[in-house]
Chains A and B, each alone.
Chain A
């Protein structure tokens, strides 16, 4: 009987002890929970500002001012905090500011944390009634500069920058330019060259072995008869020499010279990537404006009017 009474006394004593300590434990737990939540807010503010500034370019649009960009950062930060279950009420006084340091701009965000549990503050006077958190993040200053784009240059305007997509400029579509191109075709006869313009009109020139010049032989029909090749075509911008062992017609020569196609309908390249090794590397290395390409067993050589063509060049065709 005494033992039972003794146990009951002990339990009563424990209960009294617990009741004495319980308020402190509850207050302490409240402080810990509050502190953990405040810590979460502090970390979220830092991460939220970092995310808001890192993604700032989403909010930068033509004509946006620095104030609008700052407002966008604040909005993104508020959304981030709200998504993370953090109070974004007016009493939290969320604010964003920035200061530019040359090419870098530092954004700062402030947040006033109001503790949810007020009970601990009734017992523990030194606990603050509010906590101010501050976070900072750096971005390029360019992010806050106003972008002023050209109002006339829209994507649609750019798409139509050339009015007729199916008719690009070039020799094929610009007859005036076609007159600046001629074709020099070696014939089966030594030192004799056929000169053809874009329309296929034929002239024949002979290579003079003594002075190395090409002279026309059309004494009666050519306006510039008697003049040598270089003089006659001094104003011509581009000359294409065609050497083909086959008996190709004029149309084929033009197509090959302009389109640079081989007999399989495949291009071997254009003026920029012709296989110069098939022609003469010395000429190319010393006069880089000259190129050659193999075409169906023959060669096409394009020649820009300056510097002057030498006999040596022609002989190597």
Chain B
């Protein structure tokens, strides 16, 4: 009986020590991954990524892991960061047998990349496919380097020639023509968060750089979010971020319903943290609405021209080729670091 009791005690002690080591290992892995992810988002900020990773790791260390150490490797070309951490876990009962510490190691890699928002045509949930102003939420599918729009052009009709029987939202140069004054609303696969540098890139196809406005949106009430047309919850709040665009001219456009708004010609980068209103400031967006400027002007070769008749063509309006979320950060297998 006494012998069995001693064996029972020994196994219990091992179980307790094993649980301690397991807990430490999980926590070490958690803070290693978190510091790698946070550091990877600093690639476009100009800050020292290695220092950022170390600082975040030190801040995340909890009471039991205070003596944990980290080694950071940074690949600035591929925008990857690898954090390797170590910690000596201190068991209670094993120390009676001379085992005062068990060395734990965790490794995590994160990558900063640009993520294109795309949808196959069947994934685009238009409110009314034949209504010229009624584009709706784009599918939330996302992958790399896929253009908006269908794989091949559909039949469509001339606005001028066919009068009211108009269908825009057709592709042009693998893009999506909005139609004059038309729009598209994109529900992003994940929130667009203001990070250092630009956060969003919109490609406007064709050699004639046409004008459009970009609005960033957030659910007015997260408890009742927008689901789809007809199930719109408590609605979406918007702000114009067109003035934050870089790379192409921005001008004012007089709208019918919202006064003068800023617009951009051609593709450009957008920083959602830099809005067009003086007191307006956003740091996050879940929706992007791109609205054609309803104007027949365009920049061609750096010069602004009026292109009369453009609004009456079948692929009128700004031609959106792609929408790219910049500064997207994700974990990658440690073995893929540098590749």
Contact = CB atoms under 8 A, between A and B. Distances in A.
Contacts of B219: 61
Contact of B5 (A25, A39, A151, A269): A25
A272 B301 contact: no
A168 B194 contact: no
Contacts of B280: 148-150
B308 A147 contact: no
A115 B158 CA distance: 76
Contacts of B60: 106, 136-138
B289 interface: yes
Contact of A155 (B1, B179, B232, B312): B232
B161 A258 contact: yes
A169 B294 contact: yes
Given A39-B19, A171-B296, A238-B309, A140 B195 contact: yes
B255 A62 contact: no
A316 B199 CA distance: 46
Grouping DSSP codes into helix (H, G, I), strand (E, B) and loop, the A interface class, with mixed when no group exceeds half, is mixed
Q: Which of A145, A152, A180, A259 has most chain B Cβ within 10 Å?
A: A259
Contacts of A25: 5, 8
B218 A165 contact: no
A209 interface: no
B52 interface: yes
B62 A135 contact: yes
Contacts of B145: none
Contact of A172 (B2, B5, B311): B311
Interface string B6-20: 001100100110010
Contacts of A170: 159-160, 180, 296, 309-312, 316
Contact of B314 (A57, A106, A149, A261): A261
Interface in A38-63: 39, 42-43, 46, 50, 57-62
Interface of A: 14, 17-18, 21, 24-25, 28, 32, 35-36, 39, 42-43, 46, 50, 57-62, 99, 101-104, 106, 108, 134-138, 140, 142-143, 145-166, 168-172, 177-178, 180-181, 237-238, 240, 255, 257-261, 265-267, 269-273, 288-289, 302, 304, 306
30 contacts: A21-B1, A32-B15, A101-B55, A103-B42, A104-B56, A135-B62, A138-B34, A138-B59, A142-B283, A147-B282, A147-B283, A150-B237, A153-B240, A153-B258, A155-B238, A162-B133, A163-B257, A168-B132, A169-B294, A170-B160, A170-B312, A237-B308, A238-B306, A259-B313, A266-B155, A267-B313, A269-B314, A270-B315, A272-B206, A288-B300
Of all A-B residue pairs in the complex, the 3 with the closest CB atoms, nearest first, are: A170-B311, A272-B206, A259-B158
